[in-house]
Amino acid sequence: MEQRVTETSGDCSDDVVAAAIMQIAPAAVHVDVSRLNVMLADIVGVRDRLTSPHMRDLILIRSSPRYECRLCHGGIWH
């Protein structure tokens, strides 16, 4: 996604091939850079939440056989 933002921002002066490809690409491929930046920010936000220490702890707790056993026997909720 970051590469796509770079390609569409027109800052491909050092990459002649990428610039040429973008010039001949169909109109459907061209996307507004600000829209790409919003999508990139959303993706980074989701990735950061999924890889946060809190989420890692929740996954470790959920994958614990002991947790599963306690949950099945009602030890956690009673």
pLDDT at 65: 81
Domain ranges of the chain: 2-72
Mean pLDDT of the chain: 76
Helix, strand, or coil (residue 6) = helix
Per-residue pLDDT of 17-48, as tens digits, reads: 766 776 777 776 667 778 888 988 999 999 99
pLDDT grade for 7, boundaries at 50, 70 and 90? low
pLDDT at 59: 86
Instruction: Say if CB 17 and CB 45 are below 8 A apart.
Output: no
